[in-house]
Amino acid sequence: MNAPQAAAPLSSLQARGRRKRALGLLAGVVLAGAAAFAVYDWLVASHYEHTDNAYVQGNVVQITPQTGGTVMAIAADDTDFVRAGSTLVQLDPADARVALLQAEAALAQAVRQARTLYANNETLAAQIRLRQADAARAQADIERAQAEVARAQDDAQRRQQLAGAGAVSTEEMNHAQTQLTAARTQQAAAQAAAAAAQAGIAAAREQLASNRALTQGVEVAQHPSVLAAAARLREAWLASQRTQLIAPVDGYVARRSVQLGQRVAAGSPLMAIVPLREVWVDANFKENQLRNLRLGQPATLTADLYGKQVQYHGTVAGLGVGTGAAFALLPAQNATGNWIKVVQRVPVRIALDAGQVAAHPLRVGLSMNVEVDTRQQDGAALAEAPRSAPLAQTRVFDQLGDGAEAEVARIIAANLGKS
């Protein structure tokens, strides 16, 4: 009877020993796991910043007309892919064509009026020569009148001497005085005619100088009035070309609001083009995550669209200069009694690899998961120099004015006449 009673306490002690060993083993595993996690966090996790508050962003290029008109044709719809330079919307060109014809006529008239100014130079020069001939003739008349006055004075003096001896009658003496008076009158008239001729020469020279001031130093094609008319023609030409709205970049059409027959004004948004191959990611990091973020750090991204099997690689291209709340349409007003501190977020721009974006296209607004490797600390926290090249540019509008130059040259040549 005593043997079974002694075995029971021994079995209880063995069970407690096993539990202690199991608990000790579990505690060792927990401590080892905690130590491993602490080592991992210190060596690896502390060098990465992660956020799922990130979204794809891209340029949304608004298509707006530069001149008003009525929509006659729409060449692209939402989701369509368009090439840079392709026509998107055609406006009614009737008004622009009429304005162009008026500008062409005004340029032709300006050229002919300028030719008239140049021709007037010769006419005014001929008038000066004519006035000079009149002045020479008037001078000759003065000299004849002076000779006639001298002869009449001699006759009158001679008859006056003879009249004292009674050899000349009173009638003859009066006749000599009358001839002297008539000669002096003719002399005065000749002198007045000479003064008028000199005044005519001065007036003609002033007219010639005034006309030459309008033509001196330039040819007809470079005359200011011709240049002004040519500028108006170029303006009308551009307005006629701008009735065709063309795509400035390659991309996909979005937000089309224009309709056939709609009367649109200059600057009205008609549709947008989104170049999906030039997208980036705006990752919103918390305030306490920014201390180690630098420009140029590598980043790994995944999109909810493709899942974790597709990874994108990018770099930190820029850090925002303010929180989202600071630039909100209605900024938060925290100077109130019910203020609650909220952790703010700052947008960080992540530039994506163009090849990966082409292989796996993204859409604007998609959610992304971003993980930035912060071990590289040699970059700046903010941009320190301006861009050396334009952020974006297009050349599709450079050719709009080429035809205007040819049209201006044609109209000027057609109205210059033979040299």
Pick 61-93+237-267+397-416's CATH classification: 3.40.50.300, 3.20.190.10, 2.40.50.100, 3.50.50.60: 2.40.50.100
Which of 208, 270, 222 minimizes the C-alpha distance to 68? 270
Q: What is the mean pLDDT of residues 382-393?
A: 86
The residue with greater pLDDT, 411 or 159, is 411
CB 319 within 8 A of CB 346: yes
Residue 360 has pLDDT above 50, yes or no: yes
Cα gap 337→36, rounded to integer Å: 46
Secondary structure class of 370 (helix, strand, coil): strand
Could you tell me the pTM of the whole model?
0.70
Residue appearing with tokens 């005014």: 124
DSSP letter, residue 399: T
Instruction: Compute how many other C-beta atoms are within 10 angstroms of the C-beta atom of residue 84.
Output: 15
**Backbone angles phi and psi of 54, in degrees to 5:** -140, 145
Average pLDDT of the residues of the chain: 83
User: What span, in angstroms and rounded, lies between the C-alpha atoms of 126 and 344?
Assistant: 88
The pLDDT value recorded for residue 251 is 95
Judged against a pLDDT cut of 60, whether residue 5 lies above it is answered with: no
- 287: tokens are 């305030």
- Helices within 268-393 (DSSP H only): 354-359
Residue 139 has pLDDT above 90, yes or no: no
292: Cβ contacts below 8 Å, ≥ 6 apart: 47, 49, 374, 377
The mean per-residue pLDDT over the stretch 280-288 comes to 93
Cβ–Cβ < 8 Å for 234, 401: yes
DSSP characters over 1-16:
-HHHHHHHHHHHHHHH
- 94-164 and 402-416 helices cross at what angle (nearest 10)? 30
Q: What integer pLDDT is reported at residue 231 of this predicted model?
A: 94
> Does 298 score more than 80 pLDDT?
yes
Rounded average pLDDT over 355-360:
94
Higher pLDDT, 277 or 328: 277
Segment 169-189 mean pLDDT: 69
pLDDT digits (tens, 9 = 90+) for 89-109: 999 999 999 999 999 999 999
Residue 103's pLDDT is 94
**Who has greater pLDDT, 188 or 88?**
88
* The pLDDT of residue 351 is above 90: yes
Rounded distance between C-alpha atoms, residue 34 and residue 66, angstroms = 67
Tens digits of residue pLDDT in 210-263: 666 666 777 878 888 889 999 999 999 999 999 999 999 999 999 999 999 999
Confidence of residue 163 (pLDDT cuts 50, 70, 90): low
In the predicted structure, residue 46 carries a pLDDT above the cut 80: no
Q: What is the pLDDT of residues 188-212, one digit of tens each?
A: 777 777 777 777 777 767 776 666 6
Architecture of domain 96-221: Orthogonal Bundle (1.10)
Is the Cβ–Cβ distance between 331 and 325 less than 8 Å?
yes
Contacts 24+ apart (CB under 8 A), 206-212: 207/124, 207/127, 208/121, 208/124, 208/125, 208/127, 208/128, 211/117, 211/120, 211/121, 211/124, 212/121
The whole-number average pLDDT for the span 31-50 is 72
From the list 41, 50, 49, the residue with the least C-alpha distance to 376 is 49
What average pLDDT does the segment 391-405 reach? 85
Say yes or no to pLDDT of 145 above 50.
yes
Q: Residues 297-315: what's their mean pLDDT?
A: 94
- Hey, what are 393's tokens? 């540019």
Write the pLDDT tens digit of every residue in 311-350: 999 999 999 998 888 888 877 777 777 778 888 899 999 9
Query: Which sign does the torsion angle of CA 397, 399, 405, 406 carry?
Result: negative
Domain locations along the chain:
61-93+237-267+397-416, 96-221
Q: What is the predicted pLDDT for the residue at 1?
A: 46
